[in-house]
Structure 1
Amino acid sequence: MRNRGGILALVVILLSVSAYYLIRTFKANSIRNDAEAAAMTVDGNIDPQLKQRYLDSLWKQPVFLGTTLEDLTKQELGLGLDLQGGMHVILEVSPNDIVKSLASGTRDPRVGQAIDNAAERAVTSSDHFVDLFVEEFKKLAPNTSLARIFSTAANRGELSLNSSDIDVSNYLKAEVDGAFDRAFNIIQTRVDKFGVANPNLQKLPGTNRIQVELPGIDNPQRVRKLLSGAAKLEFVEVYEPNEIGPSLDAFSGYLNQQDLEARLSSIEDRADEQEAATDTSALANDLAAQLTGSGADSTGAATDSLFNSNSLSNLFINTGNGLAVRVKDTTRVNELLNRNAVKQLFPNDLSFVYDVKPFMNTSTNEELVSLYFVKNLGNAPLEGDVITNARQDYDPTTGRPDVSMQMNATGSRKWRELTAANVGQRVAIVLDGFVYSAPNVNQEITGGNSSISGNFTLEEASDLANVLKAGKLPAPTNIIEEAVVGASVGSSAVRAGVISSVVGLLAVLIFVLIYYNKAGWIANVALVVNLVLLLGVMASFGATLTLPGIAGMVLSVGMSVDANVLIYERVKEELNEGKPFATAVRNGFKFAMPSIIDSNVTTLITGIILFIFGTGLVLGFATTLLIGIFTSLFCAIFISRLIFEHYIKKGKTVTFFTNWSEKLFKDTNINFVDNRKKFYMVSAAIIIAGAISIGIRGFGLGVDFKGGRTYVAKFENTVATEDVRKAMEDAGFTAEVKTFGGFDQVKITTAYQIENTDPNVELEIQEQINGVVANIDGNAGEVVSSSKVGPTIANDTIWSSLKAIFYSLILTFIYIYIRFRSVAFSFGAVVAVFHDVLVILGIFSIFNGILPFSLDVDQAFVGAVLTLMGYSMNDTVVVFDRVREYLNDKRKANESIATVINNALNSTLSRTAVTGIATLLVLLILLIFGGETIRGFIFAMFLGVIVGTYSSLYIAAPIVVDAMQRQLTKEKEEGLKAAEAKA
């Protein structure tokens, strides 16, 4: 092995880096546990405000090797919603409302009809909404120019009455897409200010949708209102400190009084201890005297006393331009400012508002955020609906970035009045309760055209322009998919995941030891290192570990056995030929490499397809699977090789079998090929039976594919699904009820009001469902998790799933053709995979409602199908590699194709069996211990491994035999015709 020292150094570095990131994850979790302990109340509950205050206090502080808690949480192996509870939401920016607003100046009823028609088509179409609208409008008004509808004074610079329909369409698309970008920025700010640890917010590519994941949320209704509410943009006057001096003085006195009371209470507590009583009583009396005096002259105290170093007073910092607070103290400050005693000290129309953007205090290296005192927030003299346009521009005198803003006639009048009354004062631009800018008014502004200048960067000016445009159009966001997972469900999932992981790993390690003896120890070391690297890489990327991710992790460990098996079986063949141990090991690695690469590339193709098209459960699985492919490949090739080289250098050998496994699969001579027609008939019978079942019974479609709401309800005792269904029917719901994970738990699926996007509807339905399950014939129940999928996203899920399967087949066909240079191999592999998919579909239809767990066909099922396609292809490619090797062996040149392929199947049988058994062991354990959430997913994969192994042996290879024999027959016939033509 060349450059063994370099490879060993690389292994040490990778393990060290992985360990470092895993320790960071452990430290972050340790701090969160400390926060919960510090926030524990007397009755054993956790006060969320106290917990958040504890975390805020450490957010910017070094807590691990100079790393702050903020940085730790950005690169840690976080837990997904299914493992800790929380809420997952997919929002869609409503394009029909935007187009409707842009056309608000017209009275043509055909516009509204076209918008409604386009909205209906959008449910089942992936085309841009504007294109659908234009098509529908042209159907209703073929001779009407779009410019006559949408050209207004507000967009005079972009459209005119002479603009073409294409120009108008492009303008509408730009407005819709711009509204989406603005909505994303607004929601990102809302989420950042929501106080959730590790929120995940991302744009879904190719759509006007936003995915939001909020771990630990316990108030879904608040989240719905927060995320789906329209942006509120306000222009409000700012109270300067000199305007409210008496209020600030009174506030300072209040803070000092609170500080003294806290210190006095602390001293009195210490005085209760007998050994400290004498020392503390005098100090307590002295503080009590100070406290009595502080109340008398508190209103006359200097404003600067706000900035004393006392406990509460020290929360506020005088920056010279106003007040600021440390970002880590905002939770505590909010609690303080919301006290009624504090509110009464200030004018009734005053509100405390933070700046949206923190800044760094370079002298103390602390992150601060400005605090403004604004007037009439919520009842502003001017709101964002008057803005017609805003853009990033440049100040003509300084050349620095600024923002140009235009208003309509009403806004121009109100803006003139507001600026005239505040010359020399500040006016704050407030969006969703946060100040984005507070420019100083230099003069009365008339005409509605304004320039907002300041010390802006280009990015800040662009962001402010987007904020101002957020008030230009109503861009409400509709929740089209959501899932709420209760904390108790999450803790149960953690237990299931940990148990299944540990037991699955142990099962694989024991099996490998039993089968390969001492060489099994080497493989197990590689597997354990693989697991450490896998977790370390995920932590370094800040990946989120989900229950399917755990399944993918354990499965990748099971499948990583395959590379070791391929190497070991080759080494055993070399040893059986009498070659020295060192030569056998090196040849084993060399000859196994093509099969290892081919099998991993086919699995990689599947993993990439899953990653691109999957969301939620499937995406979590794909992420872990992709990382696992690379780490397992590295460990099998390098870790195992390093250990073998160590033994070779020492002059030692390693045994590759036990007494039990030595003769297993040795000299097997099963005739796979000659019996192929019998197995064709068996497969055809299963597929036909499945097709009949699909035609008669259909599938149990999951909510992913048909849309609707799903609730998982847990009862104190065993409950009959029919009783729950009848109770739902009596309450006015048409619902499907299934047992879910035990006879005391059910899954309720209903399409009731699924197209209603009003966020209040969710609460109403939730309350109705809670009322139904609260008491079923004396059996108390509660909803522990819920999910919702709108009809639009259900349709998109179907199409994305079909595309994922199609692309996977095409890419695999191309790869196999490139590697084997024969259509016969590509055809055999694709037919075998297609066979596997049809068999699994048939089984899911036949046994739906019979087996005691869900066999719904949903996105998780599609993920399982794609994974089994990858596994089946993996198995098939290994056989094909051996077939190619035998076909190129001149010693086998005189053998028939059937004989060559039959020998190849027998020679790889041990590898097929060992890999299959190891993978089935893991899947069986996941099926038993993995939890109800992934049971249908794992069952599909369990069946897939069996069916995939069967098809590799009895379908794929025999089809290659038939195809190649037909090709040879055709070539012979063409040769005879050519010879006859020459004669």
Structure 2
Amino acid sequence: MRNKTGILLLTIVVTALCAYYLSFSFVSKRVQRDAEAYATDAKGNVNTNKKFSYLDSVRKEPVFNFLGIKYTYEEIQNSELSLGLDLKGGMHVVLEVSPVEIIKSMAGNSKDPSFLKALQVAQQRQQNSQAKFTTLFAQAYREINPSGRLAAIFSNTANKGRINYNSSNEQVIAAIDTEVNGAIDRSFNILQTRIDKFGVNQPNIQRLKSSDQIQIELPGVTDATRVRKLLQGTANLEFWEVWKPEEFFPYLGQLNSILVKQEAANKLAAGKSGNTAAKSNADALTKAAAQPAIDPLTGKPVTDSATADTTKANTVASAKTDSTKTDSLAANQSSQLTRLFPLLQSGLLQANVRDTAKVNALLRRPDVRAIFPANMKFLWAVKPTPLPAAQVGQAKQEFIELYAIKKGRDNKAPVGGDAISDARQDFDQQGRPEVNMGMNVAGAKKWQRLTAASIGRQVAIVLDNYVYSAPVVQGEIPNGNSSISGNFTVEEAQDLANILKAGKMPAPTRIVEEAIVGPSLGQEAINQGLLSSLAAMAIVVIFMVFYYSKGGFVADLALLFNIFFIVGILAQFNAALTLPGIAGMVLTMGMSVDANVLIFERIREELALGVSIKDAIHKGYDRAFSSIFDSNVTTLLAGIILYFFGSGPVKGFAITLMLGIATSFFTAVYVSRLILEYMTSGKKVNSMTFSTVFSKNLFKNFNFDFIKYRKLAYIGSTAVIVLGFVLMFVQGGPNLGVDFKGGRSYLVNFDQAVPASEVRTALLDEFKGSGTDVKTFGASNRLKVTTSYLAEDESTRADETVQTALQTGLKQYSARNPKILSSSKVGATMADDIQKTAVLAVLLSFAGIFLYVMLRFRKWQYSLGGVVALIHDALMVTAFFAIGRLFGLNYEMDQVFIASILTIIGFSINDTVVIYDRIREHLSNHPKSKIREVINPALNDTLSRTIITSLTVLFVVVILFIFGGETLRGFSYAMLIGVISGTYSTLYIATPILMDTIDDEKPKVTATTITPKLATTGKLRS
């Protein structure tokens, strides 16, 4: 084995890295268990607020010491293997930023008939097109008014410097494009800030490429209505006057006096309780109850339970960290106020980030509110500021500033976001980054009044009640053009310019896709995923040992390494593990042994020829390499296409599949060889076996004429496919899922079984006769309700209307306690995009595989046979979805269905390429042979490998079908049909078509090969 030392070293390094990154997940689970123990009362009930409060308190604390390197809980969370929404529960949302309002605003709400008509036509076309809205708008305007000039509509003061009266239509569209993209970026930044403030653990927000959409995943969220309002609310930009420190500090002095008095009263109460206790326990209890201590923060009596909780919290925290160094309410401070604001003596009203909730509670107290003037309100800065240890006398921490805002008489901001006409990042005369801001006429007048009254004072720039900046006014600004300078970086100046522009132009968002998964459903998915994984692993491990003896043991060790590497690398990249991802990993178990099957079959062939065990191993690995490489590349192509064109859980499946292919190749080709060479070293060489009594002579000298029955196979396949599609037509078309046809879907659980047909009848009236499908989902007491009612309306109001209609229709079953476990929504436009993307993904996979096979085998007939077999498999699976409905197997065609089709394509071409490789080898060894003379020998030579690989994958798919849960049942059913069809098409479709189309009279050309050693001699077996 070449580079043995390098491969061994690489294996050790990868193993160590995987163990290192997986350790973060174990530490994170330990901290979460501690939080749950702290939040659990005597009756075993978990207080969720207390649990999250504990986790927040240790967020910045070291919880893991690895070789002297300390990691905080926040760092641990960022490095652990996270769970997807389908396993953890939560909310998945895809938002689309509407460009219509942006374009209208840029046009100054023009009433030009051609302009309005073009917008209307573009909106209609967008429902059936994946083109950008601005492109559709330009096309529509050109058709409606061929001689029209967009500059006449868009050349106004708001667009000064970008569009003038002489601008061409192309220049105007380019300017609109820039503005729309900027609006999407601003919406993204605003949403990101809102989500950060929402308090969700490990949220995920990303802008989807080549679209106007933003994808958001919020684990653990249950209040969908609140999230919708949070995400779809318009940005509120305001400019406020700020109180000077010397103006509001006297009020803080009054607050401090109140807190000091309460502290003294608490100490006195504690002292009296102690003296009384010395006299009589009964009297002590009575007086302690009569004179409770007052919490200085909330102003409420301290209860026994609260004291107990505090003691418990301190006990748990002290076990984890040195709280005397980090607790911002440490006992050595002089008063409650200085404990909350440790930098107060330096003139800074800044609090530790973890103490903001305590400060808010303090400022909400009625007696505290009475201290401050009616026109004073407090707002936090949007971001904390890390301060060095020298400033706070503690470890480095994050502090956040609290601003005292001066309200007007009507409680409205002096200047609002609608006053902004433009904002951009620029540089001052010294080359330092600054922000230039312009205002419209009305805004400029208000800005002049505000700046005139605020010379030498700060003006706070506030978005959604958070202060983003508070520059000091240097002088009155009469014309609305201002420059904001400070210690900005270029990025910070650009961010501030975007914030200012966020209030300038409306960029409304609408939810075009939504999915909600309840936590109970997520836990159920975890259990199903683990069960199916363990069962599949057990079946594959036992079967490999049963068939290949000690060789099977080697393959099983490689399989364990493979799974360990997959999970470890997913953790290294902080990827989320989803249920389809687990399915991909389970499927990888079956497919990963394929390479070892190829190698072992080659080794068995060499041993049958009398070659020594070491030479047989050497030749087996060398001669199987080309087949393994080609088959993995073709499967990888399907995975790459699935990744780029899939979304959500499907993308998670693609990631796991691609990663599994890479790790399978490494473990099967290199790790297993290291193990084999160790097991055959020295005197152990003769004890190595690759067969059992059962498998030793199985498929030996097998000679079947596959080609003879090819025409019968052509007819049979065509008949089954036609039957399936006729049935589909009779059944009213394909059973499309919500993500392909649009609409809303709900998973409803009942305490007792409910007939699906009865529920459908009860819901038809509430859904106004719209298309409604109700079917049992797994257990008999669980139903999946899918409806097209208000499918075209993607507003929040429509969401609430449909859910209300569902709940009203289910009222007659209230005795059975109906409960919505999860829901999903896909807008009509989004569904159309998903459908087209799915078709494109399948077509691209066909094209990619056609080109690769032609490149590797140098003849287009190889590609044609392979791709026709793949089309056959895809059509066969589709046909059996219709045939299955006759037997109650009513599965939807959705994105997961497309994932199964692409996986089947990868599996099927894998089989075909292995046979092609054997045909190529026979032609290389026997140049004078015709291809029809070597096809049957090649098929028979590889039959053992074909059957064993198909069986291992089939075992795994059956396990998924039985134990994987209803969510994966449609996927498992498609894979079940696909594995059988793929094996059949390799034998009876791909190679026969190769034979029927190739010209045997031409000399045979040997393809290029990856392996450095290819057999040049050998026997032609029949």
Q: For the structure 1 residues 756 and 316, does the alpha-carbon distance in structure 2 shift closer, same or farther, using more than 3 Å as the test? A: farther
Residue among 908, 915, 919 paired with 1:883: 919
Tell me which residue corresponds to 1:28.
Answer: 28
- Read off the aligned partner of 1:843 and give its amino acid letter: F
Distance 1:168 1:264, change over 3 A: farther
Q: Partner of 2:1018 in structure 1? A: none
Partner of 2:516: 484
Judging changes above 3 Å, is the alpha-carbon distance between structure 1 residues 256 and 765 closer, same or farther for their aligned structure 2 residues?
farther
How does 1:660-679 map onto structure 2 within 5 Å?
660-679=694-713
Deviations 1:68-102 (A, max 9, x none): 22221112110110011100000011011111122
- Structure 1 position 424 matched with structure 2 position 456: yes
Deviation at 1:617, TM superposition (A): 2.0
Q: Is 1:117 matched up with 2:153?
A: no
Selected match of 1:689 from 723, 739, 750? 723
Q: Secondary structure at the match of 1:64?
A: strand
How has the CA–CA distance of structure 1 residues 258 and 731 changed in structure 2, closer, same or farther, with 3 Å as cutoff? farther
Structure 1 residues 307 and 955, CA, compared in 2 at 3 Å: closer, same or farther?
Answer: same
Q: Deviation at 1:940?
A: 0.6
Cα distance per residue 1:733-758 (max 9 Å; x no partner): 43221111122111111122233343
CA distance in 2, matches of 1:850, 1:254: 76
Tell whether 2:659 aligns with 1:627.
yes
More deviation in 152-161 or 39-48? 39-48
| Other-structure match for 2:892 | 856
CA gap 1:639/1:274 in 2 versus in 1, 3 angstroms: farther
2:304 corresponding residue in structure 1: none
Q: Which residue of 1 aligns with 2:1008?
A: none
In 2, Cα distance between the equivalents of 1:178 and 1:323?
35
Matches within 5 A, 1:460-609: 460-609=492-641
Is structure 2 residue 163 aligned with structure 1 residue 131?
Answer: no
Q: How does 1:195-274 map to 2 (within 5 A)?
A: 195-256=199-260
Give how far 1:840 is off.
0.9
Instruction: Check the 8 A contact 1:699/1:848 in 2, yes or no.
Output: no
Residue-by-residue CA offset, 1:767-788 (whole Å, 9 max, x unaligned):
3323333442743211110000
Tell me the CA shift for residue 392 of structure 1: 0.6
- Output the CA distance in 2 between the equivalents of 1:349 and 1:933: 56
Is the Cα–Cα contact under 8 Å of residues 316 and 323 in structure 1 kept in the other structure?
yes
- Give how far 1:44 is off: 4.8
Q: Secondary structure at the match of 1:480?
A: strand
Equivalent residues of 2:256, 2:335 under 8 A apart = no
Deviations along 1:92-133, one digit per CA (max 9) or x if unpaired, are: 110111111222342323322321221111111122211212
The amino acid that maps onto 2:191 is: I
SS in 2 for 1:651: helix
Mark the CA change 1:836 to 1:440 in structure 2 (over 3 Å): closer, same or farther: same
Q: Could you report, residue by residue, the CA deviation over 1:655-691 in whole angstroms, capped at 9, with x for unpaired residues?
A: 1111111111111111111111111111111122123
- The answer as to 2:83 corresponding to 1:79 is yes
Within the candidate set 726, 737, 743, 1:702 is matched to 737
Q: Distance in 2 between matches of 1:222 and 1:60?
A: 28
- 1:714: which partner in 2? 749
Q: Distance in 1 between matches of 2:294 and 2:789?
A: 65
> What's the CA shift for 1:479?
0.6
Per-residue deviation, 1:895: 4.2
Residues 179 and 970 (structure 1), Cα distance of their counterparts in 2 relative to 1, 3 Å cut: same
306 and 137 in structure 1: CA distance in 2 versus 1, 3 angstrom threshold: farther
Q: How far apart, CA to CA, are the structure 2 residues paired with 1:151 and 1:760? A: 36
SS of the residue corresponding to residue 436 of structure 2 reads strand
1:150 is matched with which residue? 154
Q: Which residue of 1 aligns with 2:63?
A: 63
Residue 507 (structure 1) shift? 1.0
Q: How does 1:940-955 map to 2 (within 5 A)?
A: 940-955=974-989
For 1:726, give the aligned amino acid. Answer: T
Q: Tell me if 1:738 matches 2:769.
A: no
- The amino acid that maps onto 1:369 is I
Per the alignment, in what secondary structure is the counterpart of residue 780 of structure 2? coil
**2:479 corresponds to which residue?**
447
Name the counterpart of 1:435: 467
Q: What CA distance in whole angstroms lies between the structure 2 residues aligned with 1:321 and 1:849?
A: 78
1:829 paired with 2:861, answer no
Is it true that 1:383 corresponds to 2:420 in the alignment?
Answer: no
Distance 1:841 1:256, change over 3 A: farther
8 Å CA contact 1:306, 1:316 repeated in 2? no
- Structure 2 residue identity aligned to 1:560: S
Give the counterpart letter for 1:595 in structure 2: S
Q: CA deviation at 1:606?
A: 0.6
Find the aligned partners of 2:921 and 2:264 in 1 and give their Cα distance.
Answer: 87
8 Å contact 1:315–1:329 — kept in the other structure? yes
Percent identity between the two aligned chains: 45
Any gaps of 5 or more consecutive residues in structure 2? 300-328, 390-394, 1006-1022
Q: Out of 996, 999, 1003, which is 1:962 matched to?
A: 996
Partner AA of 1:944 in structure 2: G
- Deviation digits for residues 301-332 of structure 1 (CA, Å, limit 9, x no counterpart): xxx99993667752323264532222233344
Matching residue's letter, 2:730: I
Residue pair 2:767, 2:805 contacting (<8 A) in 1 also: no
Q: Residue 958 of structure 2 corresponds to which residue in structure 1?
A: 924
| TM-score, structure 2 as length reference | 0.89
Q: How much does 1:189 deviate?
A: 1.1
Secondary structure of the structure 2 residue equivalent to 1:675? helix
Range that drifts further, 113-122 or 406-415: 113-122
Distance 1:522 1:415, change over 3 A: same
Q: Which residue of 2 aligns with 1:411?
A: 443
**Match runs of 1:98-117 below 5 Å:** 98-117=102-121
1:976 equivalent in structure 2: none
Once the two structures are TM-superposed, the CA of residue 439 in structure 1 deviates from its matched residue by 0.4
* 3-state SS of paired residue (1:346): coil
* TM-score between both structures, scaled by the size of structure 1: 0.92
Do 2:269 and 2:292's aligned partners in 1 also have CA atoms closer than 8 Å? no
C-alpha separation in 1, matches of 2:492 and 2:823? 39
Of 329, 333, 342, which aligns to 1:317? 342
Corresponding position of 2:315: none
5+ residue gaps, structure 1, are: 296-303, 972-983
Aligned residues: 955
Aligned partner of 2:851 in structure 1 is 814
Which residue of the partner structure matches residue 327 of structure 1? 353
Contact kept in structure 2, 1:60 and 1:328, CA below 8 Å: no
Name the counterpart of 2:829.
792
What's the secondary structure of 2:697's corresponding residue?
Answer: coil
Residues of 2 paired with 1:330 and 1:966: CA distance?
A: 81
Equivalents in 1 of 2:908, 2:523: separation in Å? Answer: 34
Q: Deviations over 1:190-234 (max 9, x none)?
A: 112211111111111100110000000011111111111111111
Q: CA deviation at 1:391?
A: 0.6
CA separation of 1:896 and 1:401: change in aligned 2, threshold 3 A: closer
Tell me, what secondary structure is at the counterpart of 1:744?
strand
Deviations 1:137-165 (A, max 9, x none): 23333333211111111222222122211
Of 926-935 and 98-107, deviating more is 98-107
CA 1:913/1:381 → structure 2, altered by over 3 Å: closer, same or farther? same
Displacement of 1:488 after TM fit? Answer: 0.8
TM superposition shift of 1:342: 4.1
Q: Tell me if the contact between 1:228 and 1:478 (Cα under 8 Å) persists in the aligned partners.
A: yes
Question: Structure 2 CA distance, aligned partners of 1:327 and 1:872?
Answer: 56
Partner secondary structure for residue 148 of structure 2: coil
